[in-house]
Amino acid sequence: MKCPFCGYPNTKVQDSRSIENGLVIRRRRMCPKCGAKFTTYERFEGGTLMVIKKDGRREKFSREKLMGGIVKACEKRPISMDKIEEITNALEARARKVGTEISTKEIGEMIMKELRKIDQVAYVRFASVYRDFRDIDQFIEEIGKLKGDKDNG
CA-nearest of 7, 5, 9 to 37 is 5
Q: What is the DSSP letter of 66?
A: H
The per-residue pLDDT for 16 is: 94
The per-residue pLDDT for 152 is: 65
In terms of residue numbers, what domain contains 114? 47-152
Query: Around Cβ 91, how many Cβ atoms within 10 Å?
Result: 19
Helices (H) and strands (E) in the chain, counts: 5, 6
d(CA 52, CA 148): 33
Same structural domain, 123 and 112: yes
pLDDT in tens, 22-70: 778 999 999 999 999 999 988 776 678 999 999 999 999 999 999 999 9
Same structural domain, 123 and 51: yes
Same structural domain, 38 and 104: no
pLDDT in tens, 86-104: 999 899 989 988 889 999 9
Same structural domain, 24 and 39: yes
Burial class (CB in 10 A: 0-12, 13-18, 19+), 118: middle
- DSSP-based three-state secondary structure for 48: coil
CA-nearest of 84, 66, 88, 65 to 74 is 84
Pairing of strands 24-30, 37-43: antiparallel
Model pTM? Answer: 0.69
Same structural domain, 85 and 24: no
CA-nearest of 21, 61, 19 to 39 is 19
